[in-house]
Amino acid sequence: MIIYVVTDSGKNAMGGGFYAHKFVLEETSGDICLIIRYNQLTLEFLRELKPLAVCHSGGGTSYDEYDVLQNKDYKEAVTKWDGPQIGFCGGHQIIAHMFGSTLGKIRTLREGDADHNPGYHPGQFKEWGVYPVQILKRDPLFDGFVQVVKVQEFHVDEVKELGAELELLASSDNCRIQAFKHRSKPIYGTQFHPEQASANYPDGFQILKNYFKIARDFKHSQNQTN
């Protein structure tokens, strides 16, 4: 089993989009997927259920508009569980913050910048659509790719500086921290949305398959040790 944690608090936080992501996660993992809210996740729950992996969603609500960063049970689950985790977009930002990173808006719009979604945080620059992301460090998450992945992006916030426990894996022209991993745990974050890949831009599907292989390899290594 894998767990998909909805990190958003908005009125549509358990809407149809997250169920579409659930099917993508099931297809790429070959496992069943349980959807829960972030305020239902606890360390005890993870240790009892022993999921293959935990995926943390993005969402339309900015991290500073609700209690997700202050929720003690959720933070304990993220930082103290030893199993594989990955965060997408907002989930990437939340995990990074819980390991000592700083967050903020990408930047205000400059003269000549296009606002690709003027109704969402007007006046702020956004990555909105499909963007090339440069792979900076070789990692199993990017197996099968050489230098660039083309992935879906929908965000106004970003990780500004990574905490000491995290290392940078990928970057784009307007967002320096596009992917990271924990230095000693199987924890990843992607600012982009691999769960929203498509037939025209399928790189996210392969990234998810790579991640679930990482999770299975970790589980196998743990079984060998125990």
Identify whether the C-beta of residue 127 lies closer than 8 Å to the C-beta of residue 159. no
Helices 72-80 & 90-98, crossing angle to 10 degrees? 80
DSSP 124: B
Tell me whether residue 89 is one of the annotated catalytic residues. yes
Q: Which amino acid is at 133?
A: V
Question: In the chain, at which residue ranges do the beta strands (DSSP E only) sit?
Answer: 2-6, 33-37, 53-56, 85-88, 102-105, 127-135, 148-155, 157-161, 166-171, 179-182, 187-190
Tell me whether residue 161 is one of the annotated catalytic residues. no
Read off φ and ψ for residue 124, nearest 5 degrees: -105, 140
Tell me whether residue 193 is one of the annotated catalytic residues. yes
Q: State how far the Cα of 51 lies from the Cα of 2, in Å rounded to an integer.
A: 5
Identify whether the C-beta of residue 41 lies closer than 8 Å to the C-beta of residue 9. no
Set 33, 55, 89, 175: catalytic member: 89
Set 97, 155, 182, 193: catalytic member: 193
Residues tagged active-site = 89, 193, 195
